[in-house]
Amino acid sequence: MRVAVVSDIHSNLHALEAVLAAIDAEAPDELWCLGDLVGYGPRPNECCAAVAERADVCLAGNHDLAVRGTIDLEEFGGEAAVAASWTRDVLSSEAQELLDRLEPTGAAHGVALYHGSARDPIWEYVLTDASAVATLELADSPLVLVGHSHVALQIALSGDELEGALAPAGTEVDVDGVRALLNPGSVGQPRDEDPRAAYLLLDLDARRASFRRVEYDVARTQREIRDAGLPELLAARLELGL
């Protein structure tokens, strides 16, 4: 059983299409999405349609919940609130129906899935040892996938020994016999200083995870962000991976 995992697409259609093409070449059995299909970027409807067609499992992220109206926009700051409000205005009824069906937690084939973390699936960023341990201890599966931080990570707990690090392109990890937490990184707005779109390949039989990055046409998405009148920062950050 081989699974491709994506997260934090953020309405970046050209990043998503590049990732889906790379995933097609790997021919995994399933595709899972850890949430934040929309928010920040210019092509929410097309991203929702592609995920609806392709994903076997899909979570809701905080931006999805804000856009569909479950979270008040006042809980969002600055560019996130502006983009969520813009997305509400352009969202198709099909995309709204997809977002309405999603939950921020899930499970598939013995793997626990959270957009944020086990103790706060909507808002918590797992970026510290303490937050990773809390989620690994709360989850009822030895393998946990999270998104939300837009930083590709691999953290393993073996006994009370915690080992983990950023997971740049090409990182391969063995998740056999440990409790492991993995974040695939972000498709549409990476924040680990690698602007390429991120995804993860998981072999559940071999207990191996492989972190991948793909180039996409960043300038094209930047043009669409500017043409939509979305905040300039949302365009500028994409070429930096920040």
Binding site for Zn ion (CB under 5 A): 8, 36
Burial class (CB in 10 A: 0-12, 13-18, 19+), 229: exposed
Characterize the bridge pairing of strands 153-158 and 143-146: unpaired
CB-based contacts of 90: which residues, under 8 Å, 6+ apart?
44, 45
Least separation in angstroms between CB 104 and Zn ion: 12
Tokens found for residue 84: 């969520």
Nearer to Zn ion, 142 or 147 (CB): 147
Least separation in angstroms between CB 23 and Zn ion: 19
- The residue type at 225: I
| Crossing angle of the two packed helices 13-26 and 218-227, in degrees rounded to 10 | 150
Least separation in angstroms between CB 30 and Zn ion: 22
Nearer to Zn ion, 8 or 124 (CB): 8
Rounded-to-integer distance, Cα 225 and Cα 200, Å: 26
Nearer to Zn ion, 76 or 142 (CB): 76
3-state secondary structure of 138: helix
Least separation in angstroms between CB 34 and Zn ion: 9
Rounded-to-integer distance, Cα 122 and Cα 23, Å: 27
Nearer to Zn ion, 62 or 142 (CB): 62
State residue 211 phi and psi, 5-degree precision.
-90, 125
Least separation in angstroms between CB 9 and Zn ion: 8
DSSP state of 103: B
Nearer to Zn ion, 36 or 124 (CB): 36
Give the residue from 210, 168, 213 showing the smallest Cα distance to 187. Answer: 213
Nearer to Zn ion, 87 or 175 (CB): 87
Least separation in angstroms between CB 40 and Zn ion: 8
Give me the half-sphere count of Cα atoms (radius 13 Å) on the Cβ side of residue 91. 25
